Chains A and B, each alone.
Chain A
Amino acid sequence: MTVETIYAPDLATRYKLPIFLGRLPAGFPSPADDYLEGKLDITKHLVKHPAATFYVRVSGDSMIGAGIHSGDLLVVDRSLEAKSGNVIVAALDGELTVKRLYQKNGLLRLLPENPDYQPIEIKLQQSFEIWGVVTSVIHQL
């Protein structure tokens, strides 16, 4: 495996820094003192709207083509407006389901990403609600 991209650290965020990193009063100050940027917090990276973000467990393989496996953890942000093409969690006929949203010309479909599953056409008489937009998948290797 080769490394394709190396990301530069994001220096826009400011963290509270300890005043002295090096030991006092004797000894040399650490040369890294002036460069300390705090630690990277994975939650901050994954969760942009904490009040509106929920974790949902996946069961089944209907979205395997989107890299979503059974047992994976979904980060679901309810504050985002779902757009056609987004992977969403929906409440369909009383069940939570994860699918890709397809919206065009008044047509509403939930698309699986697995040839073994059929697309779901949402009919008027069905109870349907977009529960949230999936922003990340956490997959344990």
Chain B
Amino acid sequence: MSPASPPVFALVDCNNFYASCERVFNPRLNGQPVIVLSNNDGCVVARSNEAKQLGIGMGVPEFMVRDTIRAHRVQVFSSNYALYGDMSQRVMETLQQFCPDLEIYSIDEAFLSLSGFRSKNLSEYAGTIRSTVKCWTGLPVSIGIAETKTLSKIAGGIAKKTPGGVFDLLTCSDRDSVLNQTAASDVWGIGKARSQLLHQHGIHTALQLCHADEQFIRKHMGIVGLRLVMELRGISCLELEQCPPPKKGITCARSFGKAITQLHEMEEAVSNYVTRAAEKLRAEELAVTTLTVFLHTNQFKEVEQYSNSLTLKLPVATDTTHELITAALQGIRKIWRDGYAYKKAGVMFVGLVPASRVQADLFDGKDRTRSKKLMAALDSINERFGSGTLQYASSGIAKEWKATFNRRSPAFTTSWDELPVAR
């Protein structure tokens, strides 16, 4: 690839990713409406095309579409993140065979830099990528090609509605009509607030945004907005981000399966969240200096409302689970109030520093070398025998507050006991 070759990006997007994952291992679902629900089986987070045609919206609570589900025998699944995570990795690995320059943008999307492939027929190449991913993983993807990331996102949206699943904006003869058909609010990076602002100034489509006055954009949307407009004009401003930016914080927060009213249950839940966050911390070889705990009641229900949070500064940066649990529990006891039904709690680690560069404290009485060995042993046991094999007693055993996944499919690819069965 010569440095002078102009940029070309492809956005690869898995169609209805979670629903499609379910279908790979359960071929009976082909042609059936399928939906996947969020934690606690709350809201719809994925829909097959058949489910979309039934008018089931994205993000709607399950109970609001229960009649449709019953009338049309919609197949309903709880989120199966073990399966989706594994399938996502397979897709990304497959893509890497075609293009080493890849940015994993989300669990089901990746940007590829195709600049080095300009001598090829890019639509054809994308077609090969698409059929290979389908063959290797069983998952359908659509691919949009353009000279900027922002345009490739738009192209990807059209690819989804194109029979071949590929749309190349570079060879498209009527780019203006494509941009005209795209709502400004659907442009990558345009959130609710910006979309409203644009609306007020008569900018409704991507085409209008593309031709918007630079002064106006700079004034109202800053340099980020200006970049976005340049991208729509075909001038690449956003590069492929191959290594994820360094983490600023690690959060573990979840809604409870049933509301928590007892302090000891809250302590268990928080211990679990700290444990998980500390695992992530160590996996990234980081230590934490400051942690925040928070809890709140269910804002969507007519119950007495209360929410609070507390930030604690640790004497020495640490990655040791029991030190973090001790601190978090002190915090949660301080903000706990009896008499409320809590829906959610969590911990946030901020002020992350590399674990190797932790400043020693003269008065620190703890044996850091010993803690390090203990944590390494804990992590390797849990990695080998499954997470939660070895846990702190404060994390509880019954865990009745835990999120429920009543309709989860088996972990087809990550558990020996749950493999797909062929007769």
Binding site for B on A (CB under 8 A): 49-52, 54-60, 62, 73-74, 78-79, 89, 91, 94-98, 127, 129, 131
Contact = CB atoms under 8 A, between A and B. Distances in A.
A91 B94 CA distance: 22
Contact of B135 (A60, A73, A79, A94): A79
Interface of B: 26-28, 30, 89-91, 93-94, 97, 132, 135-138, 412-413, 416, 419-423
B26 to A, nearest CB: 8
Contacts of A131: 27, 138
A50 B93 contact: yes
Q: Which of B27, B30, B413 has the most CB of A within 10 A?
A: B27
Contacts of B93: 50-51
A138 B315 CA distance: 54
B136 A62 contact: no
Contact of A54 (B26, B132, B420, B421): B420
Contacts of B412: 54
Q: Which of A49, A52, A98 has the most CB of B within 10 A?
A: A52
A59 B423 contact: yes
Contact of B136 (A49, A56, A58, A97): A49
Contact of A129 (B27, B97, B137, B420): B27
Q: Which of A57, A62, A89, A129 has the most CB of B within 10 A?
A: A57
A74 B136 contact: no
A131 B24 CA distance: 9
A51 B94 contact: yes
A21 B412 CA distance: 41
Q: Which of A50, A60, A95 has the most CB of B within 10 A?
A: A95
Contacts of B30: 94, 127
A74 B413 CA distance: 13
A97 to B, nearest CB: 5
A97 B135 contact: no
Contacts of A55: 413, 416, 419
Contact of A60 (B27, B132, B423): B423
Contacts of B132: 79
B136 A96 contact: no
Contacts of B94: 51-52
A62 B419 contact: no
B90 A96 contact: no
A61 B310 CA distance: 61
Given A52-B137, A78-B137, A78-B138, A62 B423 contact: yes
A59 B421 CA distance: 7
Contacts of A60: 423
Contacts of B422: 56-59, 74, 89, 96-98
A120 B423 CA distance: 13
Contact of A52 (B89, B90, B416, B419): B90
Contact of B27 (A57, A59, A78, A127): A127
Nearest to A61: B423
Given A91-B27, A94-B30, A51 B423 contact: no
A96 B422 CA distance: 5
A127 B29 CA distance: 12
A79 to B, nearest CB: 5
Given A51-B91, A56-B422, A78-B135, 16 more contacts: A51-B90, A51-B136, A51-B137, A54-B420, A55-B419, A56-B421, A57-B420, A57-B422, A59-B423, A74-B422, A94-B26, A94-B30, A95-B27, A96-B27, A98-B422, A98-B423
Nearest to A52: B136
B96 to A, nearest CB: 9
Contacts of A95: 27-28, 423
Nearest to A96: B422
A13 to B, nearest CB: 20
Nearest to B413: A54
Contact of B423 (A52, A97, A127, A129): A97
